[in-house]
Amino acid sequence: MLLSRYFLPVLRETPAEAQIVSHRLMLRSGMIKQASAGIYSWLPLGYRVLRNIERIVHEEQARAGHIPMLMPTVQSADLWRESGRYDDYGEEMLRISDRHGHDLLYGPTNEELITDIFRTHVQSYRDLPLTLYHIQWKFRDEIRPRFGIMRGREFYMKDGYNFDVDREAALHAYNRHMVSYLRTYERMGLQAIPMRAASGPIGGDDTHEFLVLADTGESEVFYDSEITDLKLGDRQLNYDDRDECAAIAREFTSPYARTDETHDEALFLNVPEARRRTSRGIEVGQIFYFGTKYSEPMGATVQDPQGRPVPVHMGSHGIGVSRLAGAIIEASHDDDGIIWPEEVAPFRVGIINVKQGDSATDSACEALYAKMSSAGIETLYDDREERAGAKFATMDLIGLPWRVTAGPRGLAKGKVELHCRRTGQSEELDLGAVVERMCA
């Protein structure tokens, strides 16, 4: 992408309304614009990040064997009356009525809709296990939307639903989700710690939230510092192996880690004092096992191997796709701006032409940009007639992992500078070696 033709409305001033760093940086780098309270437009740069997060979520869901689909944002109130949640959900639900006087709502979550799809089409245990998911906009009329897209009213969420013949099978689905979520967050450069949580309006007994530690997080968390040493890494995983998933879930849930909602001071005191930590965290996902809470009232049954109808065992699983953009920034920035992890970065490389208008420099940059693009490297070329200082500030602000700087002095020797945003290290490199280096 040529920056001169792109839409990147960077702000020089720090917006007064932004209280936390991710919100400030998202506004300053032209990623988002508030449309109304808790509702945002994703401008081109932010949209690229959102799509990358979404892609990682899809890829990891596919790896775990979960099936993507798409359900609507607007739902009929009748389904929610069947489960009893139309009244229970409270004021966070945006209730709408259409021109015929039918009650509709903008979905805050999808348990009812998916259970209705399931009961219509699945009758036998032979069709199980089944896990369906979608990534769709949700609306919750939060009393205090704040921190930009971190606590929005409209937000983008991956929500998945497992259907299993019995409790054991459903608990495997629970563990499988835990493992695949851990992998998902690690790919985004995040450590998200599973913590025993309270279930809220979704219901059920077994539930874990995934929290990214950050001073600006809304939850208070208590944990054994040992848990921060755990990493999934590139272990080979077989998501169908119940014992393997259970072992990983045990590994990551054995050290004490809870939010204030479930914190147990007596248990916490068993953790050696030097390892006890109290901090704040951002919730980036949650998994639930709730058994037959929805299948029973909504009549979602399957025939078991003996031919008896049994209500299907379910769980649901959510990842805050849009919130993650903010959480990643909270976890990865410095005074100059964002530091994107490679997999979510809006572009991988930025090219800075320090002497725009100098024909030799222009043509070297153009040739490099063309080569990068044809090698499939996502590149943003700053070809604007701007001072070099302003170009550097913009690049640092938007946080691309790599920057190539080209100027007449270096080019005279056939050299450019390659700079790594994360380490801050620079090296001189042959112009001809840049593409190869980026593909290594």
Binding positions for ligand ATP, rule: CB under 6 A: 109, 140, 142, 151-152, 155, 157, 200, 283-286, 318, 320, 322-323
Contact partner at residue 152 from ligand ATP, Mg ion, none, CB < 5 to 8 Å by partner kind: ligand ATP
- Alpha-helical regions (H) of 3-110: 21-28, 44-63, 77-83, 85-88
Residue identified by tokens 């014992």 is: 243
Distance from C-alpha of 414 to C-alpha of 207, rounded to nearest angstrom: 58
Residue number, nearest CB to Mg ion: 286
Q: Which two tokens stand for residue 110?
A: 């999808």
Instruction: Closer to ligand ATP by CB, 284 or 331: give it.
Output: 284
Distance from C-alpha of 136 to C-alpha of 156, rounded to nearest angstrom: 6
Could you tell me which residues are beta bridge partners of residue 291? 314
Instruction: Closer to Mg ion by CB, 157 or 339: give it.
Output: 157
Instruction: Closer to ligand ATP by CB, 135 or 157: give it.
Output: 157
* DSSP tag of 107: -
Instruction: Closer to ligand ATP by CB, 286 or 353: give it.
Output: 286
What is the smallest separation between the CB atom of 155 and ligand ATP, expressed in angstroms?
3
What is the smallest separation between the CB atom of 323 and ligand ATP, expressed in angstroms?
4
From the list 64, 56, 61, 89, the residue with the least C-alpha distance to 75 is: 89
What is the smallest separation between the CB atom of 140 and ligand ATP, expressed in angstroms?
5
Applying the rule CB under 5 A, the residues between 279 and 298 that interact with Mg ion are 286
Instruction: Closer to ligand ATP by CB, 28 or 208: give it.
Output: 208
What is the smallest separation between the CB atom of 6 and ligand ATP, expressed in angstroms?
27
What is the smallest separation between the CB atom of 72 and Mg ion, expressed in angstroms?
22
Instruction: Closer to ligand ATP by CB, 30 or 318: give it.
Output: 318
Residue number, nearest CB to ligand ATP: 320
What is the smallest separation between the CB atom of 211 and Mg ion, expressed in angstroms?
10
Sign of CA dihedral 280, 49, 44, 70: negative
Contact partner at residue 50 from Mg ion, ligand ATP, none, CB < 5 to 8 Å by partner kind: none
Q: Do the Cβ atoms of 337 and 10 come closer than 8 Å? A: no
Q: What per-residue string of b and e applies to 305-323 under the rule 16 or more CB within 10 Å gives b? A: eeeeeebbbbbbbbbbbbb
Contact partner at residue 285 from ligand ATP, Mg ion, none, CB < 5 to 8 Å by partner kind: ligand ATP
Residue 26: other Cβ atoms inside 10 A = 28
Instruction: Closer to Mg ion by CB, 77 or 202: give it.
Output: 202
What is the smallest separation between the CB atom of 397 and ligand ATP, expressed in angstroms?
24
What is the smallest separation between the CB atom of 147 and Mg ion, expressed in angstroms?
16
Could you tell me which residues are beta bridge partners of residue 225? none
In angstroms, what CA-CA distances link 89 with 71, 316, 332, 359, 386? 20, 17, 35, 64, 53
Applying the rule CB under 5 A, the residues between 100 and 119 that interact with Mg ion are none
Applying the rule CB under 5 A, the residues between 334 and 393 that interact with Mg ion are none
Instruction: Closer to Mg ion by CB, 131 or 286: give it.
Output: 286
Contact partner at residue 142 from ligand ATP, Mg ion, none, CB < 5 to 8 Å by partner kind: ligand ATP
Distance from C-alpha of 18 to C-alpha of 80, rounded to nearest angstrom: 36
Q: Do the Cβ atoms of 138 and 108 come closer than 8 Å? A: yes
Q: Do the Cβ atoms of 332 and 340 come closer than 8 Å? A: yes
Contact partner at residue 295 from Mg ion, ligand ATP, none, CB < 5 to 8 Å by partner kind: none
Instruction: Closer to Mg ion by CB, 286 or 332: give it.
Output: 286
| Count of residues touching Mg ion (by CB under 5 A) | 1
Instruction: Closer to ligand ATP by CB, 150 or 397: give it.
Output: 150
Residue 129: cis peptide before it, omega within 30 degrees of 0 = yes
Instruction: Closer to Mg ion by CB, 286 or 353: give it.
Output: 286
What is the smallest separation between the CB atom of 195 and Mg ion, expressed in angstroms?
11
Distance from C-alpha of 326 to C-alpha of 284, rounded to nearest angstrom: 10
Could you tell me which residues are beta bridge partners of residue 429? 416
Q: Which amino acid is at 197?
A: A
> Cα(first)–Cα(last) distance of the chain, in Å?
22
What is the smallest separation between the CB atom of 292 and ligand ATP, expressed in angstroms?
20
Contacts of 185 (CB under 8 A, 6+ apart): 191, 192, 210, 212, 284, 285
Torsion of CA 316, 78, 135, 220, to 10 degrees: -50
Tell me the HSE value of 73 on the side-chain side, using a 13 A CA sphere: 13
Which chain residues interact with Mg ion by CB under 5 A? Answer: 286
